[in-house]
Chain A
Amino acid sequence: MNAITLFELNNQVKQTLKKGFAETVWITAEITELQQNHSGHCYLQLADKKEEDATILATARGTIWAFTFRTLRPYFETTTGRSLAKGMKVMLNVEVVFHEVYGYSLNIRDIDPTYTLGDLEQKKREILMQLEKDGIIDMNRELEFPILPKNIAVISSPTAAGLGDFMNQIEHNSSHFRFHVKLFPAIMQGEKTTESVIAALDRIYEYESIFDVVVIIRGGGSQTDLGWFDSYDIAANIAQFPIPVISGIGHERDETIADRVAHVRVKTPTAAATFLIELFAQQKMHIESLQADMVTGVQELLYEQKTHQLLLATEFKRVVTALLTGDDNRLKLLSKRMEHASTLYTRHCLNHLATLKGRMDSRTTLLFERLHNVLNTKGGEVKQRAARVLDDHRRRLELAATTVKYADPKKVLERGYSITRLNGKAVKQADTLKVGDILETEMVAGKIRSEVKTIDN
């Protein structure tokens, strides 16, 4: 049995492969490992996976020698906005190499970034579609943005130059606006980015009520390591965050998924600060314009009121004057009418008086005449009646004189009658006397006194 050495075998394989793959080959693969050593060589682990379940169908080691990598890397990064990284799908121009000691590997000679770009875009589209399907893609964007975002939570690497730019802007703005800024440190590059940013968001969430806005700042470092911000997890966390997020992680041309779901996307940390300061400036202008409107409004209102008052006063004066003029006229009219009326009245009264006087006069005359007549008539009657009364009285006096003449007791006494008196009173009945009474009897000539001896009834 003739045996060959392993070296001989490997050497034959090497030669066969060299013949079989004389030309370089374009392949597509996914980077599963990536490492750059100190001398600038880049070692990769490549794999081909089944689309459906990611079953590994093939693997190979790859190498990009330093002198190639120096040109390939910037080319790739400027085109894709990404640096070569684990999980990335790449299209590579490879030389199949077999080394007796190290075995099979691919010497990477060239790279087609557009393939990666396409793949990245495809992946991003898929993630975006997933976010949309989950109904969260616009959640952060739909939050009401605070009109005055004063309390700011910043997620950044504490050493990032971008953070310095942001803080400098915020703290030394020309309008002297004041903000409250709190930094929540996070790793913003490499594999741990997603996890670290999510942890920072969770921390901020604990103080949700304090903060008005979250600013995610990345900057100063590599502008190409943005792939981490295209992950579903980071995007989902930002999208569902209850405080509006401003992303300042973007690339000049590229928009990451984190940018897409954030409320506001700005290109640089400085731009994030400017955006916030601008909001303050708008509020300042708004307040000043309100103040000016207020002043103007008050002045106008007062002026209007003054004018109105003046107008009222003028109107009032006019109305009053008109009223007064009107009254004056009426008064004049009235007084004229009064004058006229009183003249008439006076005349009327005078007439009336004259009439009355006339009537009085005639009546008085009449009365006098009548009285005169009456007096005349009555006078005769009185005279006659008086004469008659006088006659009557004379006759009666004559009769009385006669009667008296015959009634005089002297005459009676002359005819033999006497008057017996007891104590000056004529005695007419015997029983009024008692025995022993002294009686005085008057006769025509002389008086006698006698004592009662007996009484006969």
Chain B
Amino acid sequence: MDKNKLNYKEAIIEIEDIVAKLENNQLDVDDLSKKVKRVSELIAFCKSKLHSTEEEVEKMLKSIDTP
């Protein structure tokens, strides 16, 4: 879970980093397609975090007994 929490944030930070580099002309054209692919993956990941539930988490929550 920590990992997942971190992942969304990390993903956002990585996207921000790439976009910033892109905007500051620090991105190598040779790397561009790789970075574009990476960013679209990260964006898809982040969007899924917004819009889908995770079975794993649901299960974990169900397993918590509450009086």
Binding site for B on A (CB under 8 A): 146-148, 150-151, 175-185, 203, 207, 209-210, 212, 280, 283-284, 286-287, 290-291, 293-294, 297-298, 301-302, 304-305
Give the Cβ gap from A142 to chain B, nearest Cβ, in Å.
18
A176 and B51 form a contact (CB under 8 A): yes
Residue of B at shortest CB range from A199?
Answer: B67
Complex Cα distance, B29 from A302, in Å, reads 8
B18 and A148 form a contact (CB under 8 A): no
Complex Cα distance, B46 from A280, in Å, reads 11
Write 27 A-B pairs (CB below 8 A) sorted by A numbering. Answer: A146-B5, A151-B1, A151-B57, A176-B51, A177-B50, A178-B53, A179-B53, A180-B54, A180-B61, A182-B66, A209-B2, A210-B57, A210-B60, A210-B61, A280-B50, A283-B12, A283-B50, A290-B15, A290-B16, A290-B19, A291-B43, A293-B22, A297-B22, A297-B27, A298-B36, A301-B22, A301-B32
Most buried by A among B29, B43, B50, B53: B50
Given contacts A180-B57, A297-B22, A301-B27, 11 further A-B contacts (CB under 8 A): A151-B57, A178-B51, A180-B53, A185-B67, A210-B57, A287-B43, A287-B47, A290-B15, A290-B19, A294-B19, A302-B32
Given contact pairs A178-B53, A291-B43, A294-B19, A185 touches B5 in the complex (Cβ within 8 A):
no
Residue of B at shortest CB range from A211?
Answer: B1
B9 and A147 form a contact (CB under 8 A): yes
A212 and B5 form a contact (CB under 8 A): yes
**1/0 contact trace for B1-40 toward A, CB 8 Å?**
1100100110010011011001101010100100010010
B8 and A147 form a contact (CB under 8 A): yes
Given contact pairs A147-B12, A294-B39, A305-B29, A287 touches B46 in the complex (Cβ within 8 A):
yes
Residue of A at shortest CB range from B53?
Answer: A178
Given contact pairs A151-B1, A177-B51, A178-B53, A294 touches B36 in the complex (Cβ within 8 A):
yes
Give the Cβ gap from A6 to chain B, nearest Cβ, in Å.
53
Give the Cβ gap from A51 to chain B, nearest Cβ, in Å.
40
Which residues of the partner chain A approach B22 to less than 8 Å between Cβ atoms? 293-294, 297-298, 301
Interface size class of B (residues with CB under 8 A): 20 to 34
Most buried by A among B19, B36, B46, B53: B19
Complex Cα distance, B23 from A265, in Å, reads 38
Which residues of the partner chain B approach A302 to less than 8 Å between Cβ atoms? 32
Majority SS of interface residues in chain B? helix
Complex Cα distance, B4 from A147, in Å, reads 12
B46 and A283 form a contact (CB under 8 A): yes
Q: CB < 8 Å: which of A176, A183, A283 contacts B66?
A: A183
Given contact pairs A151-B1, A298-B36, A184 touches B12 in the complex (Cβ within 8 A):
no
Give the Cβ gap from B32 to chain A, nearest Cβ, in Å.
7
Which residues of the partner chain B approach A297 to less than 8 Å between Cβ atoms? 19, 22-23, 27
Complex Cα distance, B52 from A212, in Å, reads 16
Complex Cα distance, B27 from A179, in Å, reads 36
Complex Cα distance, B47 from A273, in Å, reads 19
Give the Cβ gap from B43 to chain A, nearest Cβ, in Å.
5
Complex Cα distance, B5 from A151, in Å, reads 10
Complex Cα distance, B33 from A31, in Å, reads 74
Residue of B at shortest CB range from A304?
Answer: B25
Residue of A at shortest CB range from B57?
Answer: A180
Given contact pairs A182-B64, A210-B1, A148 touches B49 in the complex (Cβ within 8 A):
yes
Give the Cβ gap from A180 to chain B, nearest Cβ, in Å.
5
Give the Cβ gap from B42 to chain A, nearest Cβ, in Å.
9
The 5 closest A-B pairs by CB, nearest first: A297-B22, A182-B61, A178-B53, A293-B19, A180-B57
B66 and A184 form a contact (CB under 8 A): yes
Which residues of the partner chain B approach A179 to less than 8 Å between Cβ atoms? 53
Which residues of the partner chain B approach A293 to less than 8 Å between Cβ atoms? 19, 22-23
Residue of B at shortest CB range from A206?
Answer: B64
Complex Cα distance, B49 from A146, in Å, reads 13
Which residues of the partner chain A approach B43 to less than 8 Å between Cβ atoms? 287, 290-291, 294
Residue of A at shortest CB range from B45?
Answer: A287
Complex Cα distance, B54 from A207, in Å, reads 17
Q: CB < 8 Å: which of A177, A183, A209, A284 contacts B1?
A: A209
Complex Cα distance, B67 from A298, in Å, reads 55
Complex Cα distance, B9 from A148, in Å, reads 8
Give the Cβ gap from A209 to chain B, nearest Cβ, in Å.
5
